[in-house]
């Protein structure tokens, strides 16, 4: 597939390596758990296993590091400033996740909270709850829409659920 793409790009006067250099790295999956998730998905693809990956779509990626006057300055990585051609909004699949809290807006639109302190630990727990709640709702929604659920009553259809769905959370 890569060679076919390279051939067609060449016919258009484009070079694959040059295009790869132009595209900015989104900086996603660079942390330990992001890297682990990427490895899981890669392994499942290699084994031919059908899989979905779930996560939080942050407005900003990992920070950009700048050095000014000998000091490190962290700036938000506005990785979506040019849009993302690999994303398609699917509002018909939005799912509610309810929990207490509030939305805080800062002038920069970002706020770093240290997870060593209670406020950071609480936010991390909320994020983990959010991902698990949304993921499980979608897994159940997909199962209910599948062939495994179509010909049975709701009570008996879910007998097949453990054989058709599993999750791995990091």
Strand partners, 71: 68
In this prediction, residue 164 carries a pLDDT of: 86
Better-scored residue on pLDDT, 38 or 139: 139
- Each residue's pLDDT tens digit, 33-88: 778 888 899 999 999 998 998 988 888 777 778 899 999 888 888 888 888 888 88
Binned at pLDDT 50, 70 and 90, residue 7 comes out as: confident
- Total-model pTM: 0.72
Q: Please give the DSSP secondary-structure letter assigned to residue 93.
A: G
Section 26-36 average pLDDT: 73
Section 136-147 average pLDDT: 89
3-state SS, one letter per residue, for 90-139: CHHHCCCCCCCCCCCCCCCCCCCCCCCCHHHHHHHHHHHHHHHHHHHHHH
Structure tokens at 152: 């049975």
In this prediction, residue 61 carries a pLDDT of: 74
Structure tokens at 164: 């058709």
Section 116-144 average pLDDT: 91
Mean pLDDT of the chain: 83
């Amino acid at each position: 597939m890569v060679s076919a793409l390279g051939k067609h790009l060449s016919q258009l006067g484009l070079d694959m390596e040059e295009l790869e250099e132009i595209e900015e790295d989104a900086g996603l999956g660079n942390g330990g758990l992001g890297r682990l998730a990427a490895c899981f998905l890669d392994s499942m693809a290699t084994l031919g296993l059908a899989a979905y990956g779930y996560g939080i779509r942050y407005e900003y990626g990992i920070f950009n590091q700048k050095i000014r006057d000998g000091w490190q300055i962290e700036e938000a990585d506005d990785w979506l400033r040019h849009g993302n051609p690999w994303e398609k909004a699917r509002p018909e699949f939005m799912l509610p996740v309810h929990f207490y809290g509030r939305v805080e807006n800062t002038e920069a639109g970002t706020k770093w909270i240290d997870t060593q302190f209670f406020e950071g630990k609480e936010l991390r727990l909320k994020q983990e709850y959010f991902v698990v709640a949304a993921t499980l709702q979608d897994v159940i929604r997909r199962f209910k829409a599948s062939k495994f659920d179509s010909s049975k009553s709701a009570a008996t259809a879910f007998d097949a659920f453990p054989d058709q769905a599993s999750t791995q959370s990091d």
